[in-house]
Amino acid sequence: MINLTRVTKNLFLAAQFVFQNFGACIFRALPVLFLVSLLAYAQSFLAVGSNDLEKYISPFLYAMFAVSWHRYSVLESIRVSKGIPYQMGLRELMFGALSVFSTLFIDWMLGAFIQNFDQETAIILFALFLIPVLVTLVFVYPAIALDQPLRISQFLREGISLLPSFSVALLVVAICVLIIGGGGYVLISILTTIFTPLALQVILFISVNLVLVPILLAITASSASFLYRDVIGFSSHVTPPDLEPNNELE
């Protein structure tokens, strides 16, 4: 029997986990976001044609946070360790390279469909191509971050079997976005009566870039890690105590 709430359950567990560990999330995310901002700022001073610089480098910067948070989500030893919470090692290089390659490949395939088929057919064919890719990547990213075997055929098989559950999760996310978006609109309307336009811009910038973006990135990573743990399970070559289910969230 298909479990339609499996993805949604892990998504909510991830959101709960991120809010419970909000300080650790911000501590790990802000330095990376600062580096990405510096990269974008530096790119504005470079010669014309350098727009690809950020596209190719920023995924490796984001990978530093993503790998760190994937591991923080399911490895107890990471949560108690001290020092710099991330690095640029093999995991991060593989993670970033996969992000760059998958983005370029998906863009190329979209262009190929558009050039060779009419718009309606191109959309259908692209969707049929994209869905298996995305449901496989959901498991590939945490596998890289957690030093797990890349069992692509198993990831694809499990991802396809979870399509109904993914659909339910997307519907739930859409409803949450509508509710939060409506609440945000009301809040902004109230703030416009209190603050000057400049002060309101500062508040929105801080709220979005320093709070909302880290939370969304962390929930995405934790959701994938929790789903991997739930659906695929962990290989025995990783220290078992580190990869035991988090009973506090179950």
pTM higher than 0.95: no
- CB of 69 within 8 A of CB of 217? yes
Residue 214 belongs to a domain:
yes
Residue 249 belongs to a domain:
no
Token pair of 245 as six digits: 């289910």
What average pLDDT does the chain have? 87
Rounded to whole angstroms, the Cα distance separating 38 from 41 reads 5
Res 10 pLDDT > 50? yes
The residue among 232, 78, 227, 70 whose CA lies nearest residue 155 is 232
Res 245 pLDDT > 60? no
Domain that residue 20 falls in: 6-243
Number of structural domains found in the chain: 1
C-alpha 159: how far from chain center? 17
Residue 250 belongs to a domain:
no
Token pair of 186 as six digits: 């009301």
Residue 104 belongs to a domain:
yes
Residue 1 belongs to a domain:
no
Read off the DSSP letter of residue 47: P
The residue among 225, 237, 212, 230 whose CA lies nearest residue 66 is 225
Please write the tens of the pLDDT for every residue from 58-88: 999 999 999 999 999 998 888 877 777 777 8
Please write the tens of the pLDDT for every residue from 84-143: 777 788 999 999 999 999 999 999 999 999 999 988 999 999 999 999 999 999 999 999
Rounded to whole angstroms, the Cα distance separating 132 from 203 reads 40
